[in-house]
Structure 1
Amino acid sequence: MFMRETFKSPENRYRPKMRWWLPGAYMENDEIKREIEWLANAGYGGAEIIHFFGIPTEDVEPEQYVRYGFGSDEWNDRMKAALETAIPLGFQLDFTIGPLWPIATPAIMDREDDRCVHGLHFGTRAIIGAYHGQIPGAETIDGERPRKLVAVTAARLYNGAATIGKAATLDLESAIDLMKAGCVDILTERIAWSPPDDGEWYLFAFWSQTNGQMNDSISAPVVDHFSKDAVDAITGYWDERLLGDPYLRMLYEKNAGCLFCDSIELNATMLGGMYGAKPLAVSIWTPELLREFRERRGYDLTPYLPSIFIKGLYQLSVRNADEDAEFDFEDRSANRRIRNDFHLTLTEMFRDNHVRVLREWANRHNMRLRYQTYGLPTELTNGLLEVDIPETESLGFKDSTDGYRLQSGAVHMKNLEMYSIEVGAVMGFGYKQTWTGKEYGLLWQLHRGFASGVNQAVLHGMSYESTSASGHFRDMFKWPGMSLMGSMFSNEWGARQPISRHSRGIADYIARNQYVLRMGKAKVDLAIYRYHIDGIHHDILTEPTVYEQAGYSYDYVSPALLNLETAKVGMFDGQPVLDADGSAYKTLIVDTRVHSDGSWRWSPYMPLDIADRLLEYAKEGLPIVLVGEGASGVLSYNGDYNVMEREDDELRQKLERLRTMPNVRHVPNQEGVVEALRKLSVLPAVRTPASSPLIALRRYDQGDNYYYVYNSSLKSEFQGEVVVGGRGRAYLLDAWDGSVYPLEAESAPDGEVAIPLRLAANESALVLVTPLDLGESEEKLKMTPSDNPNILQLDNWTLTVNSWTPGSVPFETRIEKIELELGEGLKDWTDIPQLENKSGIGCYRTSFVLSESEERLPEAILQIGQLSDTFRIQVNGTPLHAVNQIDRRVRIGKWLKTGVNLIEIEVATTLNNALLKLDPHRKPEPHGLVGPVQLLY
């Protein structure tokens, strides 16, 4: 139930968190305490602790560095200080499972350990006739390190017209396991084999080797993310070293934070580099994969191993899992199904042997598991079924609302309370990302996440305030301090930037949104069936999708989600829906996937049992829309081409039967879906004017309907009516100041409410429709001060700038006061000679006279034009707290008076322009108040 006091002053659990980069244990307990207290006072509800690099201080000798690593006594002492400070404040600390990323542990320091992540390499040789010789070696393998022979196979070169394999196309039926046939001597690494005919054949040898990828923080190898033994080493180290002290274990458990894992940044091999690696034909691997594949898929992968090698797919490269492999068989549909089986096996091993084990361990210690489960070629939603708090990110998903929905279906169908986002990492925006700007402004990023189901923000990020650095880190130690990522990626949101002075108002705004976005359960218009292997998300659409443009909210659902117990048809709002007690999807769409450049469309794969479920759904009255052919075929190869074809034919028959049902529509392409939905009387929960830029989300809690409505345009305001469902009275919940305003809207007999809204570009609104009486509310909200307001242009400004400048040491900032008479012209600081290359806090003052005859003063609005970045206002000496930083229209009538009035506007900037002299790669950014500033009354 909505609580006005909680909305006004949200509890810490609703507040945003901060990613906090720490320099190993080279910290002071007093400084840890100071920074946690600063974060709490600035409005944050918690921090995510990351052991970044161990950055030694000048008073520590090199031979002592080992004392300051992850899990050391020194580290544990620092964590004890952090927890002892945070717990009384109700400030929750989350902890990465190991230092930095990808996951590593001090329990495994040998990169040849089988518990490290592996790559599978292949060597090949073309032969005609009998072969007696050495097993082919792999060019991609590191010859100086141990490797293990996994399999030796052969296949005939395909002599037909197909040229599917990028290097060669092979005959599917000829594929043979030569080790199983007894043709391989493992000790001498030789083959003795005669092909059954005199055609051209290819021999393949598959070699496994640990990938050599290291965690830079502690120089430890990255662990195998598919191995339970690897996870046991991680949790065992926690039990022994981090939780070994009973008092410290008590603090961790009392804190009740999260164990956190970042995105899975694994490379099958490091020979091509890490990020932007040279694409190599090496596959991700794990020692038990062939055994687990047989148990899970029911056939042997070995003869078909040549088809899993898509160059670059397993190296964090931007590759498509549907591309052809280097060596593929002549039937593309069979190749893709074999790879489906391989990738699904990886997915299930990751889920069962890694994620589930971590979650169960964390839960035993009163922690939850928060995990970014993407980055591998896996089926994303399947792994999420074992995560307490799924997390997405603005960087990897390119600020795409469509991309965020890849995980929202799992969040909603599993009835998880939170869907988290790592928000704010933008390359090249260190010290220049703003809160409110239109170019990667943090609120722009966050609003897009909120509109897609996200309801917890973790800001990227803040560095610990080091006071010294030695060794090669000394060159990085420059004003305004040691920035562990901020000089490359945005942002340093801590106290070292002027905009930090306005953090509290922004944090309160985020917290109020997150409070409302966790009320009840999300109710989503559409469930869109999707089965896809997601590596790095190259085909995400950033522009509004067809469904968003038509006003629909939607989630992506996969076979894993449709196999949940909740995935059944029930009734909600008087109509059949899927998952009635949860998301209450009004229809299921079997859609095509469209590449972001429009170059191709692809129908998803569908298991037969899911087709049966669709038939049951349709019989029970759920509207269904099939796009194109509906499905490319069954998901699995099934170990036999003929079995696969028979199941494909059975699937086609089921889909044909589905098309004949009265509540099912079949359209040729995505563009026809919206019209089909109208004919099925499936309307969006939030109906907006045609072609509006609004994106909306609904949550429902025991008769209360909450709506988040976002104007995704960065150019135009929206003003008009939106129609929402619900009975009772409509209220606007102002997330900026915590006020609750009744709206001039009445519930119609059919349970719909027409609500007037005005939203500036990039602005959002929270609306509640409830049958309950919320009691006394604030005064009636006016869209404008009057139909024909008087307009007073405010000129003749003075400006006092507290300019932030370097001190005598890198972590010290000095304040230089600059006073200016601006006269009638407000200008960007970059256009004012005295403020060139300056950053800081600017206080603008002006006065004006209002006559006693004015009758419209109570309705007066101060309309502030362009500024960067955030602002505060005083009217006649009265501070106006928590004003709207996006719309910048502030109701000030109650504080005005006849005679002379004084307006003060305080503007905080980023530190970017003050760093121009220190960093020649930077460019000046807009700073200060540009205006115009007008009084409307």
Structure 2
Amino acid sequence: MNKWDSEQFQSPANRYRPKLRWWLPGAFMDNEEIKREIEWMAGSGYGGAELIHFFSIPPADMDPSEFNRYGFGGEEWNNRMKSALEAAIPLSFQLDFTVGPLWPIATPAVMDKNDERCAQGLHVGTALFEGTYHGEIPVPDTIDLERPRKLVAVTAARKFGGRTGKVMTLELETAAVLSSAVEGDHIEWLSPGDGEWCLFGFWSQTNLQMNDSIGAPVVDHYSRSAAKAVTDFWDDRLFADPDIRALYEKNAGSLFCDSIELNATMLGGMYGATPMAVTIWSPSVLEEFRTRRGYDLTPYLPSLFVKGLYQLGAGNRTDGDSEYDFEDRAVNRRIRNDFFATLTDMFRENHLRTLRQWTNGHNMKLRYQTYGMPTELASGLSEVDIPETESLGFKDSTDGYRLQSGAVHLYDRPMYSFEVGAVMGYGYKQTWTGQDFGLLWQLHRGYAAGINQAVLHGMSYETSSASGHFEALFKWPGLSLMGSMFSNEWGPRQPNARHTRIVADYIARTQYVLQLGKPKVDLAIYRYHIDGIHHGMGTELTSYEQAGYTYDFVSPCLLEETNVDVKSSNGLPALAADGPAYRAIVVDLREEMDEGGGQIPSDLPVETAERLIAFAEAGLPVVIVGEAPRHVVSLHGDREKLSLQDALLRERIVRLQSIPKVRHVQNREEAVKALQHLEVSPACEVCSGIPLLSARRYEEDVNYYYLYNPSSEQAFDGELRLAGNGEVYAMNAWDGTVRQLSAKGEEGCVRSKLRLAPNGTALLAVTRTWEGAFAKAAEYEAATGDIRIMPERWSLSVDSWTAGEHPTKTQHELIELELTELQSWTEIPELKNVSGIGTYRTSFRLESIPTKQNTVVLDLGRVSDTFKVYINGRELPAADQIGRRIPIGNFVCQGEENRLEIEVATTLNNALCADDRNRQPLECGLMGPVVILLQEGV
């Protein structure tokens, strides 16, 4: 557990610094260039890189007969990785490596697309009949008849008159397995009753999904033998040289996998696929299902075929009806829950555990984005060392990130990682500081949900030439392996890279604080829902956030952990007191839907209800929101057992509601009031001002707070009540300084005033004793000054970046202008399509500074993207790039002219507009108004 260290905050070690995705052109790299780029990243403030074998991109002058030597895991690849490790280790610059080349996971050890270790789908063929069926087992048109396929099962059921299934509804009690009647590909079977029946033939086949990086089929993510094929390849090829293996182990990085972008079939396409009635499959599903769930899935297989559910972007949810459902929706839902639970178990135990054990055996950690499939997210994270989420898939939603934060905290994972960036269409356009998908805007939201490690998306290796179809893409400012589809290139290609160190230091200091001690969270909100990448959770503040509460989502597997119980924390009951120390559980079963605004109940196992009773009887407040739980998660084998379990659950809920500290309310607004009546207050409560988001860490009587103003327009200007005793200290993540704030103590908490710009953040500590240097107590800084000075004339020198004689070369042109007003470069004819570094110069005079208490503040107004400030030739410490209000009292001279110089760096977007019709110029430069504020006698 990390403890506060002032020197570490001022100059954070690399382990606290942001990482950078590094897209590599296979083994077609130069050792010296590898070393140069690693040194640039380390020197610019990054703490590590995630190496991705993206595509093999041979140089234009290489003989194609040489290409095979450069494959993943080959001699040339291993030599390049050795060079990377030898360059990184002396710099303490940690390298992470993808499990295989690119993703989804594939390995050169499995190249046959029909290998049973490949990802698979289950297909269904149907035939209607009355009386006796005699003929071939139906084969669906989703099967590739030219490739091997395996008959998994044949079943039948009588049609039902209602309409639950989208294509057909079946009578549950008539479902039958016809294995004994099968002879080869034919079957003869007499139905036991009258009416129309449907015969189902279930066939499995590898899904033809390929890892484009090496042209290998994607492996089965539920199979232990497939996972072992991956690790065996590492042993046999990447670790064959003991010297290289020793470097990997000394580096002690992570093995990483991106989101699980699996399709049950490629027939409908890869992304945004045409919905198909094919389900994800693995050869041992039926056996594992029977062992784990206690009944046979075979007769119920028709209910698994929710069209499009098992394809990326096909637009369906786990809540939808199957093509072939039984007449009882309650049964169908629970059959699918049991299927999803089995997939979750197999993914966790066969895939993740195999990878983690191998990785840990080589002094590495497993970092994994475990979403993208119909699984229960929290369960899989028990086998992941560093869980990771992302801004793209979770749409910048704090609630989306919380789908994993409960598992991160209750499994006691010290790191919650964040793939940040990857905004569609923002290549060379995404800024550090903007509110239009600015990277810090995205990152700030993640920190508020418990994230404490950033991995930026990303940077391309600087390929010097390219052959084949990549040659057409090889244009200035270099070959971008993600193109302009996704942001961003955070390497040295863009002008704002000049200021990377300022932002990287800010991120590092913030992450240092967010890795101190243990997380403390106000509420645990119960949620059981099967997710791929979540839908419909939005970016608007929830009722709980508006009231100031922090919270995690928790699911049955977390609440049923044996070490999760109620103990005392600061004299009050808390769940997992040594961990997040939740002050209450909220059973909020509603799940917002993408379309139509409908809501569905979330299921609750009897065992979890019994845990809730135990928690409540131990004094933990419980609030039930909306309809109380009525349905269990599992079918338990048949409809009769399900009915008994549902009845037992309802009995448990009645008992739960009878406990004194349990409340049942109708909506989330009432839930907030109920929590207040139960004396469950947010650890960080806004007494006056707009809502803030927060995260809290605790170690040895020190409460650390991360505060974030999520408003894009309105500054926070108000008072806070913070849990803790002692004084309040503000830790400036921009320049590494600490100052004491004026505060008023109350019983168990303190009050202090604060101002935060839109999208601004603050780091505060509440403690009786501060370890380390700090400035004396400061009064609250008002938003305006008594005296305002506005420079009227500016000289502007622009270092304009344009294409050079080679795609990797940039030409520089100096443009000099005199300005009588500050405005965006897009409004200045000479700068409309210009990107680069702008240096603004002016002067101002302060006739007198009557008292030492006067505060002199430089307010820059609007700036895009990043900036540095110089006064009288002295560079100021790294300034707040979001608030842009900079104390300058120690730098100005009284009674004489003060020279002010502001250096502004832009993205490369505007310079690229001339050759890209899809781009539009964006506001950039210093737009102001720039004001010098003198605050009299504050």
- Using the alignment, how far apart are the partners of 2:684 and 2:34 within structure 1? 46
Which residue of structure 1 aligns with residue 61 of structure 2?
Answer: 59
TM-score, length basis structure 2: 0.98
Q: Confirm whether residue 229 of structure 1 aligns to residue 234 of structure 2.
A: no
The counterpart of 1:148, out of the listed 142, 147, 150, is 150
Map 1:100-115 to 2 at 5 A.
100-115=102-117
Q: Which runs of 5+ in 2 are unaligned?
A: none
Q: Using the TM superposition, give the Cα deviation of residue 599 of structure 1 relative to its aligned residue in structure 2, in angstroms.
A: 1.8
Which residue of structure 1 aligns with residue 509 of structure 2?
Answer: 512
Q: Confirm whether residue 295 of structure 1 aligns to residue 291 of structure 2.
A: yes
Which residue of structure 2 aligns with residue 165 of structure 1?
Answer: 165
- Using the alignment, how far apart are the partners of 1:91 and 1:302 within structure 2? 52
- Using the alignment, how far apart are the partners of 1:491 and 1:783 within structure 2? 38
- Using the alignment, how far apart are the partners of 1:886 and 1:758 within structure 2? 12
SS of residue paired to 1:511: helix
Which residue of structure 2 aligns with residue 38 of structure 1?
Answer: 40
- Using the alignment, how far apart are the partners of 1:638 and 1:51 within structure 2? 45
Which residue of structure 2 aligns with residue 843 of structure 1?
Answer: 839
- Using the alignment, how far apart are the partners of 1:855 and 1:605 within structure 2? 66
Map 1:533-548 to 2 at 5 A.
533-548=530-545
CA, structure 1 residues 200+930, in 2 after alignment: closer, same or farther (shift >3 Å)? same
- Using the alignment, how far apart are the partners of 1:249 and 1:70 within structure 2? 16
SS of residue paired to 2:156: strand
Q: Confirm whether residue 922 of structure 1 aligns to residue 919 of structure 2.
A: yes
The counterpart of 1:582, out of the listed 576, 579, 583, is 579
SS of residue paired to 1:707: strand
Greater Cα offset, 785-794 or 60-69: 785-794
Partner letter of residue 380 of structure 2? Answer: G
Partner letter of residue 926 of structure 2? Answer: L
Partner letter of residue 533 of structure 1? Answer: I
The counterpart of 1:495, out of the listed 486, 492, 496, is 492
Partner letter of residue 231 of structure 1? Answer: A
Which residue of structure 2 aligns with residue 875 of structure 1?
Answer: 871
Q: Deviations over 1:856-887 (max 9, x none)?
A: 79521001111110000000000013100000
Q: Using the TM superposition, give the Cα deviation of residue 778 of structure 1 relative to its aligned residue in structure 2, in angstroms.
A: 2.0
Q: Using the TM superposition, give the Cα deviation of residue 771 of structure 1 relative to its aligned residue in structure 2, in angstroms.
A: 1.8
Q: Using the TM superposition, give the Cα deviation of residue 780 of structure 1 relative to its aligned residue in structure 2, in angstroms.
A: 4.2
SS of residue paired to 2:289: helix
Q: Deviations over 1:19-40 (max 9, x none)?
A: 0000001100000000000000
- Using the alignment, how far apart are the partners of 1:542 and 1:807 within structure 2? 42
- Using the alignment, how far apart are the partners of 1:492 and 1:291 within structure 2? 47
Map 1:209-220 to 2 at 5 A.
209-220=205-216
SS of residue paired to 2:742: strand
Which residue of structure 2 aligns with residue 10 of structure 1?
Answer: 12
Q: Confirm whether residue 362 of structure 1 aligns to residue 362 of structure 2.
A: no
Map 1:767-806 to 2 at 5 A.
767-784=764-781, 789-806=786-803
Q: Is the 8 A contact 2:790 2:931 kept in 1?
A: yes
Q: Confirm whether residue 177 of structure 1 aligns to residue 177 of structure 2.
A: yes
- Using the alignment, how far apart are the partners of 1:856 and 1:789 within structure 2? 15
SS of residue paired to 2:510: helix
Partner letter of residue 196 of structure 1? Answer: P
- Using the alignment, how far apart are the partners of 1:564 and 1:637 within structure 2? 22
Partner letter of residue 132 of structure 2? Answer: A
Q: Is the 8 A contact 1:97 1:103 kept in 2?
A: yes
Q: Using the TM superposition, give the Cα deviation of residue 592 of structure 1 relative to its aligned residue in structure 2, in angstroms.
A: 2.1
Partner letter of residue 629 of structure 2? Answer: A
Give the count of matched residue pairs. 929
Greater Cα offset, 775-784 or 273-282: 775-784
Q: Is the 8 A contact 1:97 1:261 kept in 2?
A: yes
Map 1:798-877 to 2 at 5 A.
798-822=795-819, 824-852=820-848, 855=851, 859-877=855-873
Which residue of structure 2 aligns with residue 629 of structure 1?
Answer: 627
Q: Confirm whether residue 423 of structure 1 aligns to residue 413 of structure 2.
A: no
Q: Is the 8 A contact 1:730 1:746 kept in 2?
A: no
SS of residue paired to 2:751: strand
Q: Using the TM superposition, give the Cα deviation of residue 852 of structure 1 relative to its aligned residue in structure 2, in angstroms.
A: 4.6
Q: Deviations over 1:589-611 (max 9, x none)?
A: 11122325562222221111111
- Using the alignment, how far apart are the partners of 1:475 and 1:786 within structure 2? 53
Partner letter of residue 604 of structure 2? Answer: M
Partner letter of residue 105 of structure 1? Answer: T
Which residue of structure 1 aligns with residue 636 of structure 2?
Answer: 638
Q: Deviations over 1:714-747 (max 9, x none)?
A: 0100111110111111100100001101010133
- Using the alignment, how far apart are the partners of 2:773 and 2:471 within structure 1? 59
Q: Using the TM superposition, give the Cα deviation of residue 853 of structure 1 relative to its aligned residue in structure 2, in angstroms.
A: 6.6
The counterpart of 1:48, out of the listed 41, 47, 50, is 50
Map 1:411-560 to 2 at 5 A.
411-560=408-557
CA, structure 1 residues 683+89, in 2 after alignment: closer, same or farther (shift >3 Å)? same
Q: Which runs of 5+ in 1 are unaligned?
A: none
SS of residue paired to 1:860: strand
Partner letter of residue 244 of structure 1? Answer: A
Map 1:731-746 to 2 at 5 A.
731-746=729-744
Partner letter of residue 744 of structure 2? Answer: E
The counterpart of 2:244, out of the listed 244, 248, 251, is 248
RMSD: 1.3
CA, structure 1 residues 528+857, in 2 after alignment: closer, same or farther (shift >3 Å)? closer
- Percent sequence identity is 59
Which residue of structure 2 aligns with residue 398 of structure 1?
Answer: 395
Partner letter of residue 829 of structure 1? Answer: W
- Using the alignment, how far apart are the partners of 1:901 and 1:232 within structure 2? 68
Q: Using the TM superposition, give the Cα deviation of residue 169 of structure 1 relative to its aligned residue in structure 2, in angstroms.
A: 0.7
CA, structure 1 residues 893+323, in 2 after alignment: closer, same or farther (shift >3 Å)? same
Q: Is the 8 A contact 2:687 2:721 kept in 1?
A: no
Q: Using the TM superposition, give the Cα deviation of residue 693 of structure 1 relative to its aligned residue in structure 2, in angstroms.
A: 2.7
Q: Deviations over 1:864-920 (max 9, x none)?
A: 111110000000000013100000000111111121110000000000000011211
Q: Is the 8 A contact 2:689 2:717 kept in 1?
A: no
Greater Cα offset, 57-66 or 641-650: 57-66
Which residue of structure 2 aligns with residue 385 of structure 1?
Answer: 382
Q: Is the 8 A contact 2:706 2:762 kept in 1?
A: yes
Which residue of structure 2 aligns with residue 591 of structure 1?
Answer: 588
Q: Using the TM superposition, give the Cα deviation of residue 788 of structure 1 relative to its aligned residue in structure 2, in angstroms.
A: 5.0
The counterpart of 1:761, out of the listed 750, 758, 763, is 758
Q: Using the TM superposition, give the Cα deviation of residue 3 of structure 1 relative to its aligned residue in structure 2, in angstroms.
A: 1.1
SS of residue paired to 2:351: helix
- Using the alignment, how far apart are the partners of 2:930 and 2:885 within structure 1? 10
